[in-house]
A and B are shown apart, each in its own frame.
Chain A
Amino acid sequence: AQTVTQSQPEMSVQEAETVTLSCTYDTSESDYYLFWYKQPPSRQMILVIRQEAYKQQNATENRFSVNFQKAAKSFSLKISDSQLGDAAMYFCAYRSAEKETSGSRLTFGEGTQLTVNP
């Protein structure tokens, strides 16, 4: 079974600074997807960014980018120019790509609570 680990329960960053959230995962599969979801106090789950394992290029979405290290099974999220609205719980998630006919569940990490200080 796949596992996802986020070793930083809490992180803080100054507004306009850069912060990196860590995520590692364990899998025996070679084809999969990785995601970062943001959960603000409203508890809505909002997709931030996704990465396909077969792509070597790191995904980027505006101020959000990832550092995907497949051999190390590491998938960190970098937030540049942090804004107050970035404050939230961030979850890393894994999804197999090898079970297209089955449910393809998401497996989540424990989450990292990000605080942005003005």
Chain B
Amino acid sequence: EPEVTQTPSHQVTQMGQEVILRCVPISNHLYFYWYRQILGQKVEFLVSFYNNEISEKSEIFDDQFSVERPDGSNFTLKIRSTKLEDSAMYFCATRRDTQETQYFGPGTRLLVL
């Protein structure tokens, strides 16, 4: 069964550094999402992406965040200058055009030191 994949599985970075988290969606899925989960807290929506543009974003998704689909397959989340509070699990999710269900990747565990 096709799955959403994410790389890297773990990333440790220094505060102020840029990180890029990558997601490979299921092949016929057209809607893409990023969520994050700070340890011990609920899962929070960051941004959704459709037809090569952002369709919705939360208040968390400020100017230090960006998303793109550079090569038609990967879907990336970039954090320009990481802060300590960006330490979290970041999940990519995707869904088909005619389906309600979002399928999640395994997540990237980001630790900012």
Contact = CB atoms under 8 A, between A and B. Distances in A.
A102 B100 contact: no
Interface in B73-102: 89, 91, 93, 100-102
A108 B42 CA distance: 7
Contacts of B100: 33, 50, 52, 95, 97
B107 A106 contact: no
Contacts of B45: 105-107
Interface of A: 33, 35, 37, 42-47, 50, 52, 91, 93, 95, 97, 101-111
B56 A108 contact: no
A50 B31 CA distance: 18
Contacts, number: 65
Contacts of A50: 100-101
B65 interface: no
Interface residues of B, number: 28
Contacts of A37: 104
B93 to A, nearest CB: 8
Given A107-B45, A108-B44, A43 B101 contact: no
B107 A105 contact: no
A42 B100 CA distance: 25
A44 B43 contact: no
